[in-house]
């Protein structure tokens, strides 16, 4: 069975998840390849854009997409003609990931029109909203994205884009795969996926890379002992959705002589100017091996997101034996069991977030073991690979029913 994964870039969270899923399926004896728009960093990827002429056309299409989009309301009207690519023609089944500025609405229609089953892995909400990647909690995608709060004028655009996506999925064998129970439940409320099959399969973790390297973590903290390390990471630290400002508020409830904050991601140094808390800033880390080392230096990972699907960072940290503190939102409860392998705080309660940090550092060894066991039992490459293999077998079956 030949499977082709398609995603726009060979870096970032969606790419890491796509690469892991592809590798997990490969370990199940499936022939799995990964097609990206342009190759930059990834090793085991095939670029669709390979010549100067095609690169120019790709950049032109991206520019045109920006012109027809409105800020956070993304309108992918233009894309590459990947239906003609040899890997697409050879594939038995196609799995789409984050494909913005790569595969257009028409491009998806052509893939579905080929008769090949198509799976769309929902790393965010874009597939079923009127154009935003995360709705900020507005919930309007469930009612046709009318009166979009992101649009100051031309508010009908989001509604029209939802209808366009509905038309895009009107033919062929299609399944939407949510990385968390939360996003799958959201997707089922949208008219875009009305009647379509939606399943939940989490992203796998490569435990050959992400695993505990220390024999044990010391449980002492405070005066007379080493400071405990709180780790925070985001592609963009300033991204409001990631909640770095909420973490800063939470740190105000902790004795600063007992903790140090480590931060990974792109950020302007000015963001730390008013923070009266010792910190280390690593910047962006692209090497999985180096990132695994940073996880292992931490005593607790904190992800204070305002909205989140299934974070790769959470499962990677847990695989390294690092308990995670998060608000009880989105897909966090799919990974974190309260006070068993981490801590789930009441949404946006910064004082309770601080209590979670305190709790995890005080019960570090017990939580670390449980975190590792959770990954091994639910998020391993073997377990997730088998689930995707079965989904592909089902979709290639003559008896598979797309409509539910």
Residues 7 and 213: their CA atoms lie apart, in Å, by 32
Are 244 and 136 contained in the same domain? no
Largest Cα–Cα separation, the chain: 67
161 burial via Cβ count (<10 Å: 0-12, 13-18, 19+): buried
- 243 and 300: one domain? yes
Which domain range does residue 296 map to?
228-378
Q: Is residue 212 part of a domain?
A: no
User: Domain count of the chain?
Assistant: 2
Q: Name residues whose C-beta falls within 8 Å of residue 94's C-beta, 6 or more positions apart in sequence.
A: 3, 4, 6, 88, 111, 116, 117, 118, 119
- Is 213 a member of any domain? no
Q: What is the pLDDT along the chain (404 residues), one digit of tens a residue?
A: 999 999 999 998 999 999 999 999 999 999 999 999 998 876 789 999 988 898 899 999 999 999 999 999 999 999 998 999 999 999 999 999 999 999 999 999 999 999 999 999 999 999 999 999 999 999 999 999 999 999 999 889 999 999 999 999 999 999 999 999 999 999 999 999 999 999 999 999 999 999 998 655 444 444 345 899 999 999 999 999 999 999 999 999 999 999 999 999 999 988 888 788 999 999 999 899 999 999 999 999 999 999 999 999 999 999 999 999 999 999 999 999 999 999 999 999 999 999 999 999 999 999 999 999 999 999 999 999 999 999 999 999 977 766 55
Based on the domain organization, do 195 and 246 belong to the same domain? no
Residue 364 has what DSSP assignment? H
Structural domain contains residue 209: no
C-alpha 359/C-alpha 27 separation (Å) is 38
DSSP H/E element including 95: strand 93-96
3-state secondary structure of 169: coil
Question: Phi then psi for 160, rounded to 5 degrees?
Answer: -65, -40
Q: Within a domain: residue 215?
A: no
CATH of the domain at 359: 3.40.50.2000
For 82, residues 6+ apart whose C-beta sits below 8 A from its C-beta are 6, 35, 48, 88, 102, 103, 107, 111
User: Which tokens is 380 given?
Assistant: 């391993």
396: helix, coil or strand? helix
Question: Whose CA is closest to 199, among 218, 217, 180?
Answer: 180
Q: Is residue 75 part of a domain?
A: yes
Residue 335, CB half-sphere, CA atoms under 13 Å: how many? Answer: 37
């Amino acid at each position: 069975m030949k499977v082709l994964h398609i995603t726009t870039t060979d870096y970032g969270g969606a790419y890491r998840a796509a690469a892991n899923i592809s590798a997990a399926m490969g370990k199940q004896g499936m022939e799995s390849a990964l097609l990206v728009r342009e190759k930059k960093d990834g090793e085991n990827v095939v670029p669709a854009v390979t010549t100067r002429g095609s690169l120019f056309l790709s950049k032109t299409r991206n520019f045109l997409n920006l012109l027809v989009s409105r800020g956070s309301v993304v309108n992918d009207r233009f894309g590459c003609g990947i239906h003609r690519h040899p890997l697409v023609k050879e594939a038995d089944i196609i799995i789409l990931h984050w494909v913005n500025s790569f595969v257009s609405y028409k491009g998806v229609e052509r893939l579905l029109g080929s008769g090949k089953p198509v799976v769309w892995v929902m790393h965010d909400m874009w597939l079923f909203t009127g154009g935003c990647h995360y709705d900020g909690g507005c919930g309007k995608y469930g009612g046709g994205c009318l009166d979009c709060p992101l649009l100051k004028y031309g508010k009908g655009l989001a509604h029209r884009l939802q209808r366009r996506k509905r038309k895009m999925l009107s033919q062929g064998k299609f399944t939407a795969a949510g990385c968390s129970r939360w996003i799958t439940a959201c997707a089922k409320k949208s008219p875009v996926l009305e009647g379509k099959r939606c399943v939940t399969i989490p992203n796998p973790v490569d435990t050959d890379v992400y695993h505990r390297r220390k024999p044990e973590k010391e449980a002492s903290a405070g005066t007379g002992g080493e400071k405990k390390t709180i780790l925070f990471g985001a592609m963009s630290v300033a991204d409001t959705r990631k909640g770095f400002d909420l973490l800063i508020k939470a740190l105000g409830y902790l004795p600063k002589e007992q903790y140090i904050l480590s931060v990974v991601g792109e950020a302007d140094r000015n963001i730390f100017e008013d923070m009266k808390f010792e910190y280390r800033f690593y910047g962006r880390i692209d090497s999985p091996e180096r990132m695994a080392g940073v996880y292992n230096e931490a005593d607790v990972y904190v992800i204070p997101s305002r909205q989140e699907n299934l974070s790769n960072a959470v499962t990677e940290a847990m695989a390294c034996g690092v308990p995670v503190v998060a608000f009880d939102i989105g897909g966090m409860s799919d990974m974190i069991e309260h006070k068993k392998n981490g801590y789930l705080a009441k949404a946006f309660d910064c004082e309770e977030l601080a209590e979670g940090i305190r709790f995890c550092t005080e019960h570090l060894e017990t939580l670390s073991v449980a975190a590792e066991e959770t990954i091994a039992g639910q998020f391993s490459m073997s377990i997730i690979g088998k689930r995707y293999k079965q989904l592909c077998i089902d979709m290639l079956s003559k008896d598979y029913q797309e409509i539910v």
